[in-house]
Amino acid sequence: MGEILNLKEGSKHLALDYIRLKQGESFVHKKGQSEEVYVLIAGMAMLEYDREIKKLKSDDVLFIMPGDTFTLMQYSAGPTTIIHCWALAQGLCFCSLRLG
């Protein structure tokens, strides 16, 4: 896959993370200041939010409101791949990203 962002300018308003969790890995999403989106593009995960646990599968989408905190745990034989996108604070610039 080629470039997905302009190499000279990057994105002025959005940031994008490509997250790959290996078997047994997890992370805690800390309170953000903007709306955020997580898209599971491969594998499975377990979401722990507000004392509840939900199983997530490929193509599930999480819409996160400012101030939300949750834990996401890898839950499949192979890796779990996630795209995370959020709005940047005004005045910041995020550099380009290359996949593959």
Domains of the chain: 32-87 (2.60.120.10)
pTM for the structure as a whole: 0.74
Burial of 80 (0-12, 13-18, 19+ CB in 10 A): buried
Which tokens hold the place of 92?
Answer: 């910041």
Mean pLDDT of the residues in the chain? 81
The Cα diameter of the chain in Å comes to: 44
Strand ranges in 24-67 using DSSP code E only, listed in sequence order: 26-29, 36-42, 44-49, 52-57, 61-64
State mean pLDDT over 41-63. Answer: 93
Q: How confident is the model over 2-45, as pLDDT tens digits? A: 555 566 666 677 888 999 999 999 999 887 788 889 999 999 99
Q: Please give the Cα distance from 90 to 32 (Å, whole number).
A: 14
